[in-house]
Chain A
Amino acid sequence: MTATRKLAGLAIFLLAVFVLVPALIAATGRKDLYYTLTSVALLSIASAGVWLTFYIGRINMGQGAFALMGAYVAAVLVTRYGMSFWWTLPAAGLFCALASLLIGLPILRLRGVYFAMVSLVLTEVTRLLALAVPITEGAKGITNIPLPGAISLFGITLVPDFSTMENPRIAFYYLAVTLMVIAFAAMYRLVNSRIGHICMSLQQNEELASSIGVNIVHLRLIAFAISSFLGGVSGAAFAAVTQSVYPSSFTVTDSVNFMLNCFLGGLGYVFGPMLGTLTLYFGWNLLFQTGEFQLLIYSSVMILLMLVLPNGLLSLGEGRRKG
């Protein structure tokens, strides 16, 4: 793709997300879509992290743990220490990144299904910890989290206090898609810079990568920390949107879904997790009408898609371009 086509694509995307979608929602009056799309945007951020760990050759089913951690960190900081929501976003991200360094050091040595299993267990351990540790308030969770306050710079209000808004859901939508755009822009830059190539070398052959001087332990940790940072930010934003967090806010199912989002969108494409999250989220909700068959149909379609499109939905465009 040429640079102009890329810019045009970006412009259309931004226009769609920031102008067209809100306009459509206003026209159709389906305000409930704001909440759905906010969720999709935030979940896609966590999925982008998982995608990055795939990129270094690790099947990461631990993102639920970091999303939950991020949500609690933000909730505790806001409710107990009165920190502004805006600061809790980076704080939760950093907390999760640091935690992932400690956790990653021993477990990132594992490969394939071993890493996948341990990371899955990590999600469950985090949930159990949230139940047990006093500061997270057990099963009743943390509720009544205040809405985000205003952001002012030099006395000018850039973002008004969410609680003064008529419909904070719209504000949350803008917040979520802004975070999503930032996360994916950073990811795009990362993958298309030399770092991406080094990550790719790790994915394809760790031994060879270390023979050319790549510190594979170091690089794996960096990738895992970035992934967990995104998980934490996503969780923190979720806590603010729902104004609550429970041990069951992010579970093993979510961890698996983050991974499926990446598979579905395409592991070879930076924007794969975004498309995957959107498709899965809406697909699952559409199937709601099928009642008890929801899970069966959903699973069958997933298996079929993986067989027919092993490189994800975005590989459809690739084939057309080649053909």
Chain B
Amino acid sequence: METILQIRDLTRRFGGLTAVNNVSFEVREKEILSVIGPNGAGKSTLFKLIASFLKPTSGEVLYRGERISGLAPHIAARKGVVRTFQETTIFRNMTVRENIIVAHHLRSKASLAGFFFGTRAAREDERAFGESADEIIHFLNLDDLAREKAKNLPHGHLRALGIGIGLATNPAVLLLDEPFAGMNHDETHKAVAMVRRLRERGLTVLLVEHDMPAVMKISDRIVVINFGQKIAEGTPLEIQNNEKVIEAYLGAEDEAIGM
């Protein structure tokens, strides 16, 4: 399979703290790759670097061979690398459908002025966005909530909406930061199935997650970060049996690693 992302010697310091320290790995097209590690290991920072929300102190991120690190986030998004947020980040005062429609921004062919004057291209865009939004809403099983204000959604559905917003941008690579956090067993089960279907849609998925059973079940490969450094990389089976990983997790907290 082809490489879609190359993370090269990526480092990010905050003052004296090195949140991400010389991390390198590659992401292949259409794989599900999870980044795991104890709290504060630097996973979210790594995602922000990849999606150009932060500038690296050194190192770079290449997307299909082209450097994207250090660009503005909306440019990385335009190229196809889009992140969702660790917290449930949505447009609270819009309905579910409005959230997803507005997130089609990158697909618009009409200009802003075009939307003001209601040109044919703008009307065509509106129609296409509506259709696509309905499809995404259906895909996420949010049909019954489409006209609900986003702030009134239950937690599990908020996460789904966050992913829906990401999907609307039509990304090639979607970075999901803790998509299963706060979900019960049943909700997680459904969400895992949904992430799998993302891949079937042709997306490459990067995932940060603490839910180890889910990570082990869903990932093609796993990258383990501890204190900003990559300490292991491999298939779920390799990771489960990796000495360094077990040590990092035992040293940091009592978190089972899915065994």
List the interface of chain A (C-beta within 8 A of B).
Answer: 189-190, 193-195, 197-198, 200-201, 204-205, 207-208, 210-217, 222
Contact = CB atoms under 8 A, between A and B. Distances in A.
Nearest to B51: A211
Nearest to A217: B72
A212 B103 contact: yes
Interface stretch (B31-39, B73-81, B185-193, B242-250): B73-81
B89 A194 contact: no
Nearest to A216: B74
Contacts of B126: 194
A214 B105 CA distance: 7
Contacts of A211: 51, 53, 73-74, 77, 82-85, 166, 169
A214 B72 CA distance: 10
B78 A193 contact: no
Contacts of B90: 205, 208
13 contacts: A195-B116, A197-B102, A200-B91, A200-B94, A201-B94, A204-B93, A205-B90, A208-B165, A211-B83, A212-B169, A213-B77, A213-B82, A214-B105
Contacts of B176: none
B77 A208 contact: no
Nearest to A215: B74
Contact of B116 (A189, A200, A217): A189
B112 interface: yes
B18 interface: no
A198 B102 contact: yes
Given A197-B98, A200-B94, 17 more contacts: A194-B115, A195-B112, A195-B116, A197-B102, A201-B91, A204-B91, A204-B93, A207-B73, A211-B77, A211-B82, A211-B169, A212-B103, A212-B166, A212-B168, A213-B74, A213-B106, A222-B112
A200 B95 CA distance: 12
A159 B18 CA distance: 70
B169 A213 contact: yes
A205 B91 contact: yes
A236 B82 CA distance: 45
B224 interface: no
Interface in B17-74: 51, 53, 72-74
A210 B74 contact: yes
A207 B74 CA distance: 10
Given A208-B89, A222-B112, A193 B53 contact: no
Contacts of B82: 211-213
B165 A194 contact: no
A208 B91 contact: yes
Contacts of B169: 211-213
B122 A212 contact: no
The secondary-structure label for the interface of chain A is helix
A267 to B, nearest CB: 11
Nearest to B100: A212
Contacts of B101: 197
A184 to B, nearest CB: 14
Task: Please list the 8 inter-chain residue pairs (A to B) with the smallest Cβ-Cβ separation, ordered nearest first.
Answer: A213-B106, A213-B77, A194-B115, A210-B73, A212-B103, A204-B91, A197-B102, A193-B115
Contacts of A222: 112
B92 interface: yes
Contacts of B125: 194
Given A190-B116, A208-B85, A212-B103, A200 B77 contact: no
B106 A212 contact: yes
A193 B98 contact: no
B46 to A, nearest CB: 16
A207 B89 contact: yes
Contacts of A197: 94, 98, 101-102
A188 to B, nearest CB: 11
B72 A201 contact: no
A197 B93 CA distance: 11
A197 B129 CA distance: 13
B118 interface: yes
B240 interface: no
A205 B105 CA distance: 15
Contacts of A213: 74, 77-78, 82, 105-106, 169
B141 to A, nearest CB: 21
B108 interface: yes
A195 B116 CA distance: 7
A60 B115 CA distance: 25
Interface string B116-143: 1010001001100000000000000000
A215 B90 CA distance: 17
B94 A193 contact: no
A152 B181 CA distance: 69
A215 B93 CA distance: 21
